[in-house]
Amino acid sequence: MERLLIKAGTIIKGQDLTEVKNGAVLVEDGKISKIYEQVTDVEGLEDAVTMDVGDKTLIPGMIDCHNHLALDARIPNHLVKMSDCEAEQTLRAVKTMHDDLHAGVTTARCLGDKYYIDVTCRQAQREGRLEGPRLVVSGIGMRSLHGHGYVGMPHCGAEDFRKTSRENIARGVDFLKVFMTKVINATPFIYHFITPEELRAVVEEAKSVNITTACHCSGGQGLDDCLTAGIDCLEHVYYITKEQVERVKKMDRWVVYTPSYALNDDLLFKFSPHDKEGSLREKEIICGCLSEAIAGGLKFGIGTDGLHGSLAREAQYIAQLGASNRNVLAGVTTQAAKLCGVDQITGAVKEGLAADLVIVDGNPLEDIKALSRVEHVIQGGNVIR
């Protein structure tokens, strides 16, 4: 049995993300077997490989809560490229998985990929044939025939949604995903493209096999319909209102923030049909809504939505919008693991969990930008970089 001893100036451990100074973590057979509160407590490990990272900080491997493998927002015309053939999209997925892992993302939640690329990549990663994050997958994302969703496939009517839900389940997906609204809104009225009956069909199918549901939803009546239908997690929520924040919290639902589409000017100007002045107006509105959601104390994860390798930047944006560093760190580690349903496997520096670990320069509880300064990545006890 291989043993790896990691010594670090700071270890952020447990579900509550407490700090241990000058401690060590013992990794055996891919799992965390012991956490030493003091390096001086380490005894009888002469046969272990020692990795001393000095004054650096050891944190749980990060979790991207909203990702797409074949959608790469870093490249030109990335939305148009979602019409590429299966081979091209698979090649992109292999690259984005590599990039995410080397940026410290050891687990990713995939919100839909065509051709069941995410399901295939999940199995290949599990078998060690493909380098990348552990994957939590939804298979084919479901949009309406007339609605938004470059990654999703078109559907019309409750039975159409039900059929694809069952096909996804037959493929072994971890959750089901639908697209309710557009991304950045261009009209006073927020269009919503899925009926309550269609939503209920998806929720019914998910509950029948005890998996969860997620919906791409910016706000408006569509968000209320999602809550009424029983959708478990709302993605983006750019235009969520104070009343909706209260309702989401009362109903104990999750949200996933993807703030680049509000705070990254290059993306905002690209996606908005308005001129620059209109885009900036949308930015102000969205930032206000997200800040109110954060202040409202909703359970949240953080995602990149195709901006691969940039989860640390998304975390910084959420901190700028008012979240504490501790809550932001939880949103890409411990809380993220709960949202993804993998908290019994990974997501924390805790004995018995997978040794998915990241070494960063600086302490993210003091400086959230430290998440962007990744020095080493360890996944399942294997040193990736």
Burial category of 47 from C-beta neighbours within 10 Å (exposed 0-12, middle 13-18, buried 19 and up): exposed
Nearest-10 Cα torsion for 324, 330, 336, 337: -170
Top pLDDT among 278 and 225 is at 225
Count other Cβ atoms within 10 Å, centred on residue 127.
8
Residues of the chain with CATH 2.30.40.10: 4-60+348-383
Flag the least confident range among 48-57, 127-136, 148-157, 182-191: 182-191
CA max distance for the chain: 67
Q: What is the CATH number of domain 62-340?
A: 3.20.20.140
Q: What is the pLDDT of residues 93-122, one digit of tens each?
A: 999 999 999 999 999 999 999 999 999 999
**Contact yes or no for 274/253 (Cβ under 8 A):** no
Q: Decide: residue 21, CB within 10 A, 0-12 exposed, 13-18 middle, 19+ buried.
A: exposed
For residues 287-314, average pLDDT: 97
The percentage of residues in the chain with a pLDDT greater than 70, rounded to a whole number, is: 97
* pLDDT (0 to 100) of residue 44: 80
- Distance CA(289)–CA(149), nearest Å, equals 22
Average pLDDT over residues 14-37: 97
Residue range 220-249, pLDDT digits in tens: 999 999 999 999 999 999 999 999 999 999
Provide CB contacts within 8 A for 65, sequence distance 6+.
109, 256, 301, 302, 303, 331, 332, 336, 339, 340
Tell me the pLDDT band of 379, cut-offs 50, 70 and 90: very high
Least confident interval from 96-105, 138-147, 176-185: 176-185
Q: What is the pLDDT of residue 262?
A: 82
The answer for residues whose C-beta is within 8 angstroms of residue 16's C-beta and 6 or more apart is none
* pLDDT range class, residue 276, cuts 50, 70, 90: low
With bands split at pLDDT 50, 70 and 90, how would you rate the model's confidence at 184?
Answer: confident
Q: Output 270 or 93, whichever has higher pLDDT.
A: 93
Q: Does residue 274 surpass a pLDDT of 70? A: no
Compare 261 and 216 and report the one with higher pLDDT. Answer: 216
Q: What is the pLDDT of residue 87?
A: 98
**Per-residue pLDDT tens over the stretch 42-100:** 888 888 999 999 999 999 999 999 999 999 999 988 989 999 999 999 999 999 999 99
Angle at 366 between CA 363 and CA 367, to 5 degrees: 75
pLDDT per residue over 327-363, tens digit each? 999 999 999 999 999 999 999 999 999 999 999 999 9
Strands 105-110 and 134-136: parallel
Evaluate whether 214 touches 179 at the Cβ level (below 8 Å). no
Is-contact 194 222, C-beta < 8 A?
yes
CA dihedral angle for residue 172, residue 175, residue 178, residue 182, rounded to 10 degrees: -130
Asked whether the predicted pLDDT for residue 367 surpasses 60, the reply is yes
Average pLDDT over residues 262-266: 83
Q: At 264, is the pLDDT very low, low, confident or very high (cuts 50, 70, 90)?
A: confident
Predicted pLDDT of residue 212: 98
Residue type, 98: H
More confident residue, 2 or 339: 339
CA dist 218 and 164 (Å) reads 23
pLDDT, residue 376, reads 98
Residues 6 or more apart whose Cβ sits within 8 Å of residue 205: 162, 165, 166, 169, 176
The pLDDT, as a whole number, for residue 40 is: 84
Average of per-residue pLDDT values in the chain: 95
Report the 10 Å Cβ neighbour count for 228. 13
Domain with CATH 3.20.20.140 in the chain: 62-340
pLDDT band at 1 (very low <50, low <70, confident <90, very high): low
Mean pLDDT, rounded, for 9-21: 98
Task: Classify domain 4-60+348-383 by CATH architecture.
Answer: Roll (2.30)
User: What's residue 273's pLDDT?
Assistant: 65
Strands 374-379 and 175-179: unpaired
Residue type, position 321, single letter: L
Looking at residue 58, its pLDDT comes to 98
Q: What is the pLDDT of residue 186?
A: 67
Residue 279 predicted with pLDDT over 80:
no
pLDDT in tens, 144-174: 999 998 999 999 999 999 999 999 999 999 9
